[in-house]
Chains A and B, each alone.
Chain A
Amino acid sequence: MITSLINFINGIGQYDFLQNALISGLIIGIVAGVVGSFSILQGTSLIGDAMSHAVLPGIAIASILGIPFYIGAGFFGLLAAAIIYLISENLPLKSDTAIGITFSSFFAVGTIIMTLDHSTTRLTDILFGNILVVTRTDMISTLIISTLVLAFIFIFYRELYVVTFDKTYAKSQGINSNLFRQLLILMLSLVIIVALQAVGVILVTALLITPAAAARMFSKRLSTMIFLSAIIGVISAVFGLYFSYTFGIPSGPSIVVVSALIFVVSTIFYQIKRVISK
């Protein structure tokens, strides 16, 4: 354990790819923790799940055309959102049905494109994440997009706070609740796109949901919850990366298992605290 930790730390000093991975992991942990807090309180976290699956064809096509993956992912994310909207508005079907059909079909198409393109190794990376292939350019895009997302949340914190807690009241005070909820889903999509490389399409929602859910166990205020959630996100990303590097396992599952363990410990803490206070 100690030796592998020393190896990991030495590796960070020696290898650029490990530095890129670590810095990306830190940023993703923070931004996913922050946006995830709003998302689980609003009950929109599964929209993120659908979105992450729906971007796969975009990544596949981007890789064939040699353009940055987040352009393809962004395009297909928006396309999926539009189709979900069209189905649920115009057909006698509820939105969960529309989401279910759209994201699974997009995901299937993406898998077929990648298989036909003989990029199965890359397919595994995209499905389960490989934070070790993150380039310096990827890291910089992650940094820029995450900074924009965090700036948005900082500037509109009060509106987001009120809209998340009590959207009817927010509307009664002249705040455009629907607009802010949609903007938050947009932020969620941006976080998913930047986190895709590290955690992979299948597990990316876990990084949005689990740290925030764990933080909720300790929090009596939204601000505390956001702060703790970001810290838990960072711990999950860094330790996940360490296990991934040391044991040669995909970084996505590794990060997600760490956050799940933190969640389990948090729920135990919560139960104990509840019993004591009774």
Chain B
Amino acid sequence: MLEIKNLTIGYDSNIVLSDFSVSFSSGQLIGVIGPNGAGKSTMIKAILGINKPRSGQILIDGSKVTPKILNTNFSYVPQKIEIDFDFPINVFDTVMLGQLTRVSRWHSIDKTDKKKVTDALAKLDLNDISEKQISDLSGGQRQRVLVARSLVQQSEVYLLDEPFVGIDATSENTIMNVLRELRNQGKTVIIVHHDLDKLVEYFDEVVLLNHEVLVQGTPSQVLADSSLMRAYGDSLSVFNRRPEL
């Protein structure tokens, strides 16, 4: 179980989360939703130690999440916008980075490492383009590469920040299948999701955020809850946004 306890994070003029607590159980596909600026990415980054909280604790199975634990048990798929796609690197090496940050400095890449990468590439249907430069990929391919990089790490907790933004339906399905498989292996999979579409289809549990947890439950419970309307207000028209994909 992953727990956030009494977390306060943000700058003086802009506290994003204040005395915020939530817990996520393992073996679940968990969707985190909420309007823009609700603190979804902030929460993910706080769990991962990317942004330092002013106070509060992050616990995994009761013990504090340290850099060492992050490096062995947590995998992160950042938003695509955070990555420099002009960097001289191909698909294979990008996925290998997931493995490189896990092994000792003096460990040189061997067959086992390469096998892990090839397996992850296969699951995300990337083997044919493993030699391509990441600058030459489509949005969906880039996202699959980032998921493959986390998959290679064989972590306990997977955190994905808006993985389905601006990608094709086939890539989205491929990624979802991989995430379902992780869930079936008992991993914790937390996904920041950008709209209210497909909640029932994708998630076992949904957390609705707006600077605090408004409601946490099954997708249908959350969709039926009155706080959904309060959180999104008029922008609830997202429901009608993208049926033609």
**Complex Cα–Cα for A166 and B101 (A):** 12
**Complex Cα–Cα for A174 and B105 (A):** 14
Contact B88 A174 (CB under 8 A): no
Identify the closest chain A residue to B79 (Cβ). A168
Q: Does B32 interact with chain A (Cβ within 8 Å)? A: no
29 A-B contacts, Cβ less than 8 Å apart? Answer: A41-B87, A155-B105, A158-B101, A158-B105, A161-B97, A165-B83, A165-B97, A168-B50, A168-B78, A168-B82, A169-B97, A169-B149, A171-B48, A171-B49, A172-B70, A172-B74, A172-B76, A172-B78, A173-B70, A173-B71, A174-B68, A175-B101, A220-B88, A220-B90, A220-B133, A221-B88, A221-B90, A221-B93, A222-B89
**Complex Cα–Cα for A45 and B229 (A):** 48
**Complex Cα–Cα for A15 and B50 (A):** 56
Contact B89 A172 (CB under 8 A): no
Q: Does A147 interact with chain B (Cβ within 8 Å)? A: no
CB 8 Å contact bits of B41-79 with A (1 = contact, 0 = none): 000010011100000000000000011101100101010
Q: Does A87 interact with chain B (Cβ within 8 Å)? A: no
Chain A nearest Cβ from B82, distance in angstroms? 5
Q: Does A224 interact with chain B (Cβ within 8 Å)? A: yes
Known pairs A221-B88, A222-B87; list 5 more (Cβ under 8 Å). Answer: A155-B105, A162-B97, A162-B100, A171-B49, A220-B88
CB 8 Å contact bits of A13-48 with B (1 = contact, 0 = none): 000000000000000000000000000010000000
Contact B49 A41 (CB under 8 A): no
Contact B49 A174 (CB under 8 A): yes
**Complex Cα–Cα for A67 and B102 (A):** 47
**Complex Cα–Cα for A41 and B50 (A):** 21
Q: Which B residues lie within 8 Å of A220 (CB)?
A: 88-90, 133
Chain A nearest Cβ from B89, distance in angstroms? 7
Identify the closest chain B residue to A215 (Cβ). B88
CB 8 Å contact bits of A134-175 with B (1 = contact, 0 = none): 000000000000000000000100100110111011111111
Q: Does B110 interact with chain A (Cβ within 8 Å)? A: no
Q: Which A residues lie within 8 Å of B100 (CB)?
A: 158, 161-162
**Complex Cα–Cα for A219 and B135 (A):** 13
Contact A174 B97 (CB under 8 A): no
Contact B67 A174 (CB under 8 A): yes
Q: Does A225 interact with chain B (Cβ within 8 Å)? A: yes
Q: Which A residues lie within 8 Å of B133 (CB)?
A: 220
Q: Which of A165, A169, A171 contacts B89 (CB 8 A)?
A: A165
**Complex Cα–Cα for A94 and B49 (A):** 26
CB 8 Å contact bits of B165-193 with A (1 = contact, 0 = none): 00000000000000000000000000000
Q: Which B residues lie within 8 Å of A165 (CB)?
A: 83-84, 87, 89, 97
Contacting residues of chain A (181-227) with chain B, CB-CB under 8 angstroms: 216, 219-222, 224-225
Contact B88 A166 (CB under 8 A): no
Q: Which of B67, B68, B78 contacts A166 (CB 8 A)?
A: B78
* A174-B67, A174-B71 given; A219·B88 CB < 8 A: yes
CB 8 Å contact bits of B3-23 with A (1 = contact, 0 = none): 000000000000000000000
Residues of A with Cβ closer than 8 Å to B?
41, 155, 158, 161-162, 164-166, 168-175, 216, 219-222, 224-225
Contact A172 B83 (CB under 8 A): no
Q: Which A residues lie within 8 Å of B70 (CB)?
A: 172-174
Chain B nearest Cβ from A246, distance in angstroms? 36
Q: Which 4 A-B pairs have the closest CB atoms?
A: A174-B67, A172-B76, A174-B71, A172-B48
Q: Which B residues lie within 8 Å of A168 (CB)?
A: 45, 50, 76, 78, 82
Identify the closest chain B residue to A157 (Cβ). B105
Q: Which of B82, B88, B90, B149 contacts A216 (CB 8 A)?
A: B88
Q: Which B residues lie within 8 Å of A169 (CB)?
A: 76, 78, 82-83, 97, 149
Identify the closest chain A residue to B75 (Cβ). A172
Q: Which A residues lie within 8 Å of B159 (CB)?
A: 172
Q: Which B residues lie within 8 Å of A158 (CB)?
A: 100-101, 105
CB 8 Å contact bits of B77-111 with A (1 = contact, 0 = none): 01000111001111001000100111001000000
Chain A nearest Cβ from B136, distance in angstroms? 10
Contact A224 B78 (CB under 8 A): no
**Complex Cα–Cα for A216 and B207 (A):** 44
Contact A171 B101 (CB under 8 A): no
CB 8 Å contact bits of B111-151 with A (1 = contact, 0 = none): 00000000000000000000001000000000000000100
**Complex Cα–Cα for A162 and B71 (A):** 13
**Complex Cα–Cα for A225 and B87 (A):** 11
Q: Which B residues lie within 8 Å of A155 (CB)?
A: 105
Q: Which A residues lie within 8 Å of B101 (CB)?
A: 158, 162, 170, 173, 175
Identify the closest chain B residue to A41 (Cβ). B87
**Complex Cα–Cα for A247 and B68 (A):** 59
Q: Which B residues lie within 8 Å of A221 (CB)?
A: 88-90, 93
